[in-house]
Amino acid sequence: QKEVEQNSGPLSVPEGAIASLNCTYSDRGSQSFFWYRQYSGKSPELIMFIYSNGDKEDGRFTAQLNKASQYVSLLIRDSQPSDSATYLCAVTPPGGYQKVTFGIGTKLQVIP
């Protein structure tokens, strides 16, 4: 079982819709959870991180964490064509606070 699992997509949503990106992780003791965005040919950049159960909102982005279900998601409201990118879920394991493990990423396509 992979440590961090994501559906590779592509996930296609119409402009203005809500995009929902999902991620599951295997280690129940994982501490911090990150969403990175990576445009084609570019390096990943942080969107947001979350470490407590519940929701965390930043503009059009909401991260949701459910530690009991070992599930973290990213919602993008009012999706724009400029949101088309690959979204990487990342997790830090218990005790290994320097080591960040990534999922394979979900490719999002926002259709104008």
Partner 1 sequence: DVKVTQSSRYLVKRTGEKVFLECVQDMDHENMFWYRQDPGLGLRLIYFSYDVKMKEKGDIPEGYSVSREKKERFSLILESASTNQTSMYLCASSPPGLATGANVLTFGAGSRLTVL
Residues that bind partner 1 (CB under 8 A): 8, 32, 34, 36, 42-46, 49, 51, 88, 90, 92, 97-105
The torsion angles phi and psi of 21, rounded to 5 degrees, stand at: -115, 135
Q: Give the shortest CB-21-to-partner 1 separation in angstroms.
A: 14
What is the SS3 string spanning 8-68?
A: CCCEEEECCCCEEEEEEECCCCCCEEEEEEECCCCCCEEEEEECCCEEEEECCEEEEEECC
Residue count of the chain: 112
Name the residue nearer to partner 1 (CB basis): 17 or 22.
Answer: 22
Cβ of residue 80: shortest distance to partner 1, in angstroms?
Answer: 23
| Residue 25 or 36 having the CB closest to partner 1 | 36
Is 85 within 8 Å of 39 (Cβ atoms)? Answer: yes
Nearer of residues 73 and 103 to partner 1, judged by Cβ: 103
Nearer to partner 1 (CB atom), residue 3 or residue 17: 3
Residue 101 Cβ vs partner 1, minimum distance, rounded to whole Å: 7
